[in-house]
Homo-oligomer: A and B are copies of this chain.
Amino acid sequence: MAVTILDVAKLCGYSKATVSRAFACPEQVSDKTREKVYAAARALNYTPDAIARAMVRGRTDNIGFVIYEKQYPVVLNPFYSPIFESVLQTCAQHGYSLFISSDRDLHLPNGQTCVKKQMDGVILAGHSDMQTVLDLQQQNMPVVLLNNALDLDHLLCVTTDQYGGAVLAMRHLAERGHRRIGLIAGNFSPHVYMARYNGYCDVLREIGQPIDFRLVQSIEPTVEAAIACTSLMLSLSDRPTALFCTNDTIAIGAMKAVLRAGLCIPEDIAIVGFDDSENSRLVEPELTTVHIDKVAMGRIAAERLIAQIEQGPAEKQVIQTDVRLIVRQTT
């Protein structure tokens, strides 16, 4: 793009400064001038250079959404994608654009942490290590943690009530009269895994049901793994009457295994999932699951990050969004 602000200035007879203002703050320029400037710009097909602008303003109006590498792919992840979408919307509303990258992009060849790209702040989604966050903070790069919580000063974290959700799911099953309830848990980050696992154990304890470890399995959260795992559980002589799956993908795999075994849902086996992803409504019967307010998580993370960018450092805080049980047809 060879044509610069100077070319426009020359053509319309005004100065660089006026042309600049016509684009950046149109209200500071008289109507007549603005029109002339725009006409000249159109004639030359001039377009302000975003980089030069960012350089001098010290602001890019970009935000980075950084995913822990292991959790790739983001966009296809039924849990993260609605969150990402919500972040995207919120950013757009506030005039920010969104970069998407993995945590690999956060390190220089010499090992230092930094934001190699042009962004005013970052949302770190999923796992992220403390040193990285510290480094970023030290470089005055606003940071918000999403679906993760770290105990650091001035760090804002947005999570959800993992434990409460598990308890909701389990109590619901217990109220339906289930006692032999299996757990198929995805091997998520310890933070998430333990909270959901504890919910399972605590409700079992509440109803006086001892834990049968043959009914507690930890797997990769894929449909295939869930099918295999469930099939095994179904072959038990005293098979469970209900399954609590720690995400919807697992629950869908469990459903497949049950249906393929010729059993009925929920009559023979009841199933509860977690996340309330889009997929939970795709399957038939539709899945009872714990709703996580992914829209709120994304929105809050983005809003709080933007607040930091525009108004300075955050207070240390963990914002926990509510969960609720969505009862559909699998229980």
Contacts and interface: CB of A to CB of B under 8 A. Distances in A.
Interface of A: 1, 23, 26, 38, 41-42, 45, 47-48, 50-52, 54-55, 60, 62, 73-76, 81-82, 84-85, 88-89, 92, 97-102, 104-105, 108-110, 112, 114-118, 135, 138-141, 223, 252, 255-256, 259-260, 278-279, 281-284
Contact of A252 (B102, B108, B140, B282): B282
Contact of A73 (B48, B54, B55, B85): B85
Query: Top 9 A-B pairs ranked by shortest CB distance?
Result: A47-B114, A38-B110, A75-B85, A73-B85, A50-B118, A75-B81, A51-B54, A55-B55, A51-B55
A108 B139 CA distance: 32
A55 B4 CA distance: 13
A252 B284 CA distance: 10
Given A97-B101, A99-B97, A47 B82 contact: no
13 contacts: A45-B112, A45-B139, A47-B139, A73-B89, A92-B101, A92-B102, A92-B104, A97-B100, A98-B101, A223-B282, A259-B284, A279-B282, A283-B283
Identical chains bound together, number = 2
Given A52-B55, A81-B81, A98-B100, 15 more contacts: A1-B139, A38-B112, A42-B110, A45-B112, A45-B139, A47-B115, A47-B139, A48-B114, A73-B89, A75-B75, A76-B81, A97-B101, A252-B282, A260-B284, A282-B283
B88 A82 contact: no
